[in-house]
Amino acid sequence: MRLLLLALTPLLLCAAAAPNRQSDVIATSAGALRITPLYHGSVMLEFGGKVIHVDPWSQADYEGIPPADLIVITHTHADHMDAAIINKLKKPGTVVAGPPAVTDTLNGAVGETEAISNGETRTFLGIPIEAVPMYNIMFGSSPGHLYHHKGIGNGYVMTFGQTRVYFSGDTECTPEMKALRNIDVAFLAMNPPRTMTPADAAACAKAFLPKIVYPYHYRGQKTQDFADALKGAPVEVRQRKLEGEGQ
């Protein structure tokens, strides 16, 4: 009966891992995937005995958090690329991957790194990872100076068995995001002006229809606005307290 429930219900349960730290366990065709949003843009994944950290940042609470087998970085901004916490999470054999701008910056500071460019798919520790362009279309510090230009950073689609998990990184609603298909879980940033507004993020989610979506990197925004904008859409919104001021 338990196996039947796993097969029929890929999204199993929520369990408190620590104060303000909640893990969701998802059944994939290749075993359980545990997802733990930590803080801002920092997320931990556990799968097949491996620990993956996405954009670890020292402002998160890493007490009791296991070291990384794989660390994936979206871009060079300090709240995403933090050499100090990368070095704390590393152990012998840890792979650190990111776009060329990240690897060029981190090489030497955290040991060897692996580059993955926009549109490229590479496999790390048996996990296929597709680099999706993340960039601004309109938002910038001044005309002609976008906060994130195309090519500087990656969002990622990670595949676990047949389960596809997308991390947007700092981006607006790009054509590449709208074109995504068969996304089981998505993390969408909504922290304007550097990323989407909650309304824009909801409109983008309606374009590619992830089964589950987590608003993250939402400082100063109300994630309930995002959830309200998706009412009636076939998308489950999971809100987590990832910022100091709450949701």
Number of domains composing the chain = 1
Domain around 154: 2-237
Cβ neighbours of residue 186 under 8 Å, at least 6 residues apart?
165, 166, 167, 168, 205, 208, 210, 212, 213, 214
136 SS3 class: coil
For residues 152 and 92, what is the distance between their CA atoms, to the nearest angstrom? Answer: 28
pLDDT at 6: 39
Q: Give the pLDDT means over successive 10-residue stretches in the chain (247 positions).
A: 39 41 95 97 98 96 95 96 97 97 94 96 98 88 78 96 97 97 98 92 98 96 97 97 68
Which pair of structure tokens corresponds to residue 59?
């402002």
**pTM for this prediction:** 0.90
CATH number for position 166: 3.60.15.10
pLDDT at 149: 83
pLDDT at 142: 75
243 occurs within a structural domain: no
pLDDT at 122: 98
Cβ neighbours of residue 124 under 8 Å, at least 6 residues apart?
70, 72, 95, 97, 114
